[in-house]
Amino acid sequence: MFVPDGVPLADALARTTVVGIGAHPDDLELGAVWGPVSCADSRGFTGVVCTDGAGSPAAGDDVVSRRRSEQRRAAIRGGYGLMVQLGHRSQAIRTPDGRSAVVDELVTVLAGARPEVVLAHDPLDRHPSHVAAALAAIEACRRLSPSERPARLLGVEGWRPLGWLAGPDRVRLDVSGHDRLLRDLVACHASEVVLKRYDLAAEGRRRANATFDDAHGPDVAEQVVVAIDLTPLLHDVDRPVGTFVAAVVERFAAEAVATVRSLQAPERGRRPPSV
C-alpha cells in the first residue's frame, strides 16, 4: 500500500471514486488512463497491480524491484490517491487456486474504497494474465453486497483492440487534453519502454480510436480509450463470464453478417452439380 501524498490509508480509500485493476506494472498507465485523467484534481484514483512484473523481458535480477519503483513513480506523477501492489506471480493468477488470493485482496480494497467505477482488463484480451486479472476483478465485484458494488465495471482494451465491438457493448472513454500526463505516465516505466515502444503504440491507438469510431461525423475527441461494458455481469452474478463473452462475439457476428447481407445481391439457388 503506497499513498503518494502520505495521508492515512483510511482517508486515501475514502476519497476513491475510480479503481483501476491491472495485471502488470504499466497496465494502468497504458489502458486504465481514464482513471487518473478523470481524477486529476481529486486524488480519487486508486490503482491496483496484481503481479510483480517478474516476467518482463527486461534484463537483471532486480527487475521486480525496478518495476515496483517505476509503478510508484507513475502513481506520484499521476496524482493517484493510493497505489496497491499485490505482488503475485503472473503464472499463479492464471489458475483458479492461485487467483483466489487475488480475489480476496481485491474484495478488501473495493469494500474499503467503494468506487463508482472499476476499470479492469477486458476478458477478450489475448494475454492470459490480462484475462485472469479481469476474471479476478469481476469475481471481486460480484462478492460485494449490491450496495457496495460499483455503478460501472469497464474492461479496457489491451492486447486486442475493441473497436470491433457491437454498439451496445462498446464504451468510449475520452482522455483528450492530457497529452503531457499520458506520455509522462508511460515514460515512468522506463525498463519496458526501452524494449517496446508502448508509449507510441498506446497514443497511436487512442488517436486512431478518436477518428475511426465514427465514419461520418467530424472528430469530437483527440484521444479515446475503448472499453467493453462489463456492468451486466454485476446485475446477473450467476451468469458465467464465458457465456457473456460468447454473447458479445455473437452480437458482433450478427451485426457484421447483417451489413453484408443488406448490401449484396440476393442469393441465387445453387445449380446442382453435373453428373
Model confidence pLDDT, tens digit, residues 164-203: 999 889 999 999 999 999 999 999 999 898 889 999 999 9
- Grid coordinates standing for 166? 457491437
Its pTM stands at: 0.92
Pick the closest to residue 48 from 73, 19, 26, 68 (CA basis): 19
pLDDT band at 214 (very low <50, low <70, confident <90, very high): confident
| Residues 226/176, Cβ–Cβ less than 8 Å | no
CA distance 152 to 219: 26
pLDDT band at 78 (very low <50, low <70, confident <90, very high): very high
Q: Tell me the CA end-to-end span of the chain in Å, nearest whole number.
A: 76
Residues 38-47 pLDDT 10s: 998 999 999 9
pLDDT at residue 88, as a whole number: 94
Task: Provide the b/e sequence for 222-235 (b: ≥16 CB within 10 Å).
Answer: ebbbbbbbbbebbe
pLDDT at residue 53, as a whole number: 84
Beta strands in 140-243 (DSSP E): 152-156, 170-174, 224-229
Q: What's the mean per-residue pLDDT of the chain?
A: 93
- Grid coordinates standing for 47? 490503482
Amino acid at residue number 101: A
Query: CB 209: neighbour CB atoms within 10 A?
Result: 22
Structural domains of the chain ordered from first start = 9-263 (3.40.50.10320)
Residues 126-153 pLDDT 10s: 999 999 999 999 999 999 999 999 999 9
Residues 14-47 pLDDT 10s: 999 999 999 999 999 999 999 999 998 999 999 9
